[in-house]
Amino acid sequence: MFLFFSKRLTTNGLPSANLSLKSGNKVAKGTWLPARFGPTNRFTMKFLLSMDSILVRKWKALPLFLVAFLALFAADPKAATVPAGFTETVIQPPGGGPWNQAVGVTFDSAGRMFVWERIGRVWIKDPGDADFTLLLDISEEVGVWQDHGLLGFSLDPNFRVNGRIYLLYVVDRHYLLYFGTPNYDPNANQFDEATVGRLTRYTCRSSDNFRSVDPASRTILIGSTKQNGFAILSETHGVGSLLFAEDGTLLVSCGDGASPRAADTGGSANGSLAPQGLADGIIRPKEDIGAYRSQLLDCLSGKLLRIDPNTGNGLPSNPFYDSANPGSIRSRVWALGLRNPFRVSLRPET
């Protein structure tokens, strides 16, 4: 199962490490990292661990998911106790320096390791490589504040044929509003303000064994404008996981965008950024209802989507599919009413 442990600490300079646990031909992958929790010196220690068995919540008959557990965890990662038959491996960062808030790790069919950082960078390392190589850097576009950043990453099941990779992240507000205009400053950031989450696909070049990305291949599947992205209206409850199902469909999770501090039913209560989002057109008046956005079928907030990775459209087998408008939000929805589906996993062999 995927486990997510969190404990706020009051120390600086905490180390980060990625862990890979193996048993037979199965690999358990995870990340231990410090992530700044706010403007103070507090840190959140996060450890994401994939185990053999999982807990399941079913929605109809598709292979299903586990939303991450939260628990206190303060032990040093070097002292972790692993199950019998497993081993612990510490993955050294590029160049021997620290990871910049590494979020996760995955492998392709040839054993290449992919590590993505919250700041918006993706690193690769083949089994014979001495160090990591930077595959992609979109940090200029990514909004890294509070719980937000580049959180979701997935390889296409046919990556070694088509070279496709998928990224799910929060867009920096300055980039969202001004990129491509005279007012854009590549060094500017606008944090703690309303913005959107975005799902983007890139293609790696087959000419160098998929070790570089073709910038011209960039395709935004969801969130090309401020009106059609995942609404980011609080410090948390934003975009989450990317995951391919066994049938080749792409699963995308996003929280309700509501304030985590108290009951959010709309407006500016409890620090919500909804009024700004409403003024910008990020949400419509009917969506200014806080956590209840998760119940709206024509709203991306608080949903698990199931889409065609080629087009970004919904699938005919989705429960609310509209054949007249396959690209509509309701056509993409697989599950709704979710608070913060930060991490999702598949049940093996389903």
Q: What's residue 79's pLDDT?
A: 59
Q: Where are the domains of the chain?
A: 2-336
Higher pLDDT: 189 or 62? It is 189
From CA 339, how far away is CA 289, in angstroms rounded? 14
Average of per-residue pLDDT across 193-201: 98
DSSP 215-262: EEEEEEEE-SSTTSSEEE-SSSS-EEEEEE-TTSPEEEEE-----SSS
Residue 4 clears pLDDT 90, i.e. is over it: no
> Could you read off the pLDDT of 95-128 as tens digits, one per residue?
988 999 999 999 999 999 999 999 999 999 999 9
Query: Six-digit token pair at 59?
Result: 């929605």
From CA 301, how far away is CA 294, in angstroms rounded? 5
Dihedral Cα 301, 306, 312, 318, nearest 10 deg: -100
> Could you read off the pLDDT of 201-236 as tens digits, one per residue?
999 999 999 999 999 999 999 999 999 999 999 999
The pTM for the full model equals: 0.78
Residue 18 clears pLDDT 70, i.e. is over it: no
Q: What's residue 76's pLDDT?
A: 53
Higher pLDDT: 50 or 33? It is 33
Average of per-residue pLDDT across 127-133: 95
How does residue 147 score in pLDDT terms, banded at 50, 70 and 90? Answer: very high
Residue 15 clears pLDDT 80, i.e. is over it: no
> Could you read off the pLDDT of 54-95 as tens digits, one per residue?
222 223 333 333 333 333 333 455 557 889 999 888 888 999
> Could you read off the pLDDT of 235-293 as tens digits, one per residue?
999 999 999 999 999 999 999 999 998 899 999 988 899 999 999 999 999 999 999 99
